[in-house]
């Protein structure tokens, strides 16, 4: 089991085919040395993920005489909410969990956020392992600093610190991820490439060694954060508006972000990026909604912030051109976002 090079206060372990062994070893044989006779284990997962992986994942605990509690939660990026957290919380209360017991998230980004949120608030904090099973949760969610929940149309409106004891990444899980869900992870990497180093997009298309790719991703994310962590918000405004309009249905989180990122880059970079999108199966045009509808959401979101200045990640005006976080007047921010929206609009529906 390798330890990935992240700048997080917890270790990110990586090993192909290792999650079905290492999770129990970490809890019972690691520095915690928990007593199987006195420890309860709860595993939060959704129907699809648990159908694929739960029996093999559970077996490692059964071999130690511990029967985990499965907490089924149907939770995607679009419906992660306080209601879902309450479902997990109620299970823990009903089964008499305490601070010495363990909560494990086995799933994608929504499962990690809901479980991480519950782990942070239950009894002031409970032992927590994150086991991501999708590309976006491995590339980005596993090294997040906060667990986010949505509130109605508002994405990531509520948050608490994301503080797992460890993250266990098993790339073998990616073999069963549907293509539409893979897009979420692709978009996060594309954003890193646009801001930091486009060479990572070549690695993404090649789909090479997962451990090396994750190390490269985490290292690039760290270097971007050292310059300005706000740069990692590139494209978030338009992506959130697209998701909000469609209630997270027509476009996945990654597809919405990919569209927004395409609108952010300069014209000379757009054609090469579209070729990458085509290879990865990402959309290049926004359809099924009018420009006016998306702009209304963008304007409402800007007004709701209550700030006189809006932070937008954009290219600098001087040479050499570089990405920077600009403080714009509201009307200027609306103008920039309107121009970006026009770039990805379908001509037939503009």
Contacts with 156 (C-beta within 8 Å, 6 or more apart), sequence order: 148, 149, 150
- Spatial contact of 344 and 259, defined as CB atoms under 8 Å apart: yes
**Per the domain annotation, does 349 fall within a domain?**
no
Task: Tell me the per-residue pLDDT of 147-171, one tens digit each, with 9 for 90 and over.
Answer: 999 887 677 889 999 999 999 999 9
In this structure, the answer to whether residues 46 and 134 fall within a common structural domain is yes
Predicted confidence band at 308 (pLDDT cuts at 50, 70, 90)?
confident
Task: Tell me the per-residue pLDDT of 71-100, one tens digit each, with 9 for 90 and over.
Answer: 999 887 778 999 999 999 999 999 999 999
What pLDDT is recorded for position 346? 67
Predicted confidence band at 248 (pLDDT cuts at 50, 70, 90)?
low
Task: Tell me the per-residue pLDDT of 119-139, one tens digit each, with 9 for 90 and over.
Answer: 999 998 999 999 999 888 888
Mean pLDDT of 211-224: 86
**Per the domain annotation, does 313 fall within a domain?**
yes
Domain that holds residue 63: 2-176
In this structure, the answer to whether residues 115 and 230 fall within a common structural domain is no
What pLDDT is recorded for position 208? 63
In this structure, the answer to whether residues 193 and 155 fall within a common structural domain is no
In this structure, the answer to whether residues 210 and 321 fall within a common structural domain is yes
| Percent of the chain surpassing pLDDT 90 | 60
In this structure, the answer to whether residues 79 and 127 fall within a common structural domain is yes
In this structure, the answer to whether residues 167 and 297 fall within a common structural domain is no
Quote the crossing angle between the two packed helices 291-305 and 330-344, to the nearest 10°: 150
Alpha-carbon span 14 to 27, nearest angstrom = 16
In this structure, the answer to whether residues 246 and 172 fall within a common structural domain is no
Higher pLDDT, 144 or 277: 277
What's 250's domain CATH number?
1.20.1090.10
Long-range pairs of 308-312 with CB within 8 A, sequence gap ≥ 24: 311/230, 311/233, 312/237, 312/336, 312/337
Higher pLDDT, 292 or 202: 292
In this structure, the answer to whether residues 162 and 216 fall within a common structural domain is no
Quote the crossing angle between the two packed helices 19-29 and 47-62, to the nearest 10°: 50
**Per the domain annotation, does 40 fall within a domain?**
yes
Query: Of 263, 255, 214, 205, which Cα lies nearest the Cα of 234?
Result: 263
What pLDDT is recorded for position 245? 87
- Does residue 303 carry a pLDDT above 50? yes
Look at residues 132, 158, 176 and tell me which one is the last residue of a structural domain: 176
Look at residues 149, 176, 203 and tell me which one is the last residue of a structural domain: 176
Residue 195 structure tokens: 């801001």
- Does residue 263 carry a pLDDT above 50? yes
- Spatial contact of 277 and 183, defined as CB atoms under 8 Å apart: no
Predicted confidence band at 348 (pLDDT cuts at 50, 70, 90)?
very low
Q: How far does CA 11 lie from the centroid of its chain? A: 18
**Per the domain annotation, does 64 fall within a domain?**
yes
**Per the domain annotation, does 199 fall within a domain?**
yes
Alpha-carbon span 253 to 108, nearest angstrom = 12
In this structure, the answer to whether residues 166 and 270 fall within a common structural domain is no
Count of residues making up the chain: 350
Mean pLDDT of 89-114: 95
**Per the domain annotation, does 227 fall within a domain?**
yes
Give bridge partners of residue 130 from the DSSP assignment.
105, 167
**Per the domain annotation, does 168 fall within a domain?**
yes
In this structure, the answer to whether residues 234 and 261 fall within a common structural domain is yes
Look at residues 160, 176, 192 and tell me which one is the last residue of a structural domain: 176
- Does residue 311 carry a pLDDT above 80? yes
Locus of tokens 């963008």: 298
pTM score, whole prediction: 0.84
What pLDDT is recorded for position 207? 64
Of 106-120, 206-220, 232-246, 249-263, the least confident:
206-220
Mean pLDDT of 9-36: 91
Task: Tell me the per-residue pLDDT of 319-334, one tens digit each, with 9 for 90 and over.
Answer: 888 999 999 999 999 9
Alpha-carbon span 311 to 326, nearest angstrom = 5
Distance linking the first and last C-alpha atoms of the chain: 51
Alpha-carbon span 322 to 163, nearest angstrom = 33
Alpha-carbon span 117 to 101, nearest angstrom = 16
Q: How many domains is the chain built from?
A: 2
In this structure, the answer to whether residues 115 and 170 fall within a common structural domain is yes
Query: Of 163, 128, 131, which Cα lies nearest the Cα of 15?
Result: 131
**Per the domain annotation, does 350 fall within a domain?**
no
The whole-chain average pLDDT of the chain stands at 89
What's 16's domain CATH number?
3.40.50.1970
In this structure, the answer to whether residues 172 and 27 fall within a common structural domain is yes
- Does residue 26 carry a pLDDT above 50? yes
């Amino acid at each position: 089991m390798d330890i990935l090079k992240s700048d997080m206060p917890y270790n990110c372990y990586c090993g192909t085919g290792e999650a079905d062994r290492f999770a129990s070893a970490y809890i019972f044989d690691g520095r915690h040395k928990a007593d199987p006779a006195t420890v309860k284990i709860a595993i939060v997962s959704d129907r699809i993920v648990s159908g694929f992986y739960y029996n093999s994942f559970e077996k490692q605990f059964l071999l130690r005489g511990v029967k985990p509690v499965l907490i089924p939660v149907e939770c995607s990026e679009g419906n992660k909410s306080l209601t879902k957290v309450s479902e997990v919380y109620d299970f823990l209360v009903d089964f008499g969990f305490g601070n010495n017991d363990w909560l494990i998230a086995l799933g994608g980004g929504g499962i990690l956020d809901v479980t991480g949120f519950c782990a942070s608030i239950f009894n002031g904090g409970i032992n927590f392992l994150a086991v991501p099973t999708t590309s976006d949760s491995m590339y980005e969610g596993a090294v997040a600093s906060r667990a986010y929940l949505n509130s109605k149309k508002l994405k990531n409106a509520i948050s608490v610190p994301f503080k797992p004891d460890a993250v266990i990444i098993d790339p073998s899980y990616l073999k069963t991820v549907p293509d539409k869900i893979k897009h979420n992870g692709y978009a996060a990497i594309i954003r890193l490439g646009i801001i930091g180093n486009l060479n990572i997009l070549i690695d993404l298309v090649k789909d090479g060694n997962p451990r090396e790719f994750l190390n490269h991703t985490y290292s690039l994310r760290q270097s971007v954060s050292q310059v300005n962590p706000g740069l990692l918000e590139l494209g978030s405004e338009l992506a959130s508006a697209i998701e909000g309009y469609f209630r997270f249905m027509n476009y996945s989180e990654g597809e919405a972000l990919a569209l927004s990122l395409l609108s952010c880059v300069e014209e000379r970079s757009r054609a090469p990026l579209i070729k990458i999108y085509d290879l990865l199966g990402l959309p290049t045009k926004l359809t099924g909604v009018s420009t006016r509808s998306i702009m209304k959401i963008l304007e409402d979101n800007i007004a709701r912030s209550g700030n006189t200045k809006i932070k937008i990640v954009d290219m600098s005006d001087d040479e050499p051109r570089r990405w920077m976080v600009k403080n714009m007047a509201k009307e200027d921010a609306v103008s920039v976002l309107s121009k970006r929206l026009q770039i990805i609009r379908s001509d037939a529906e503009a």
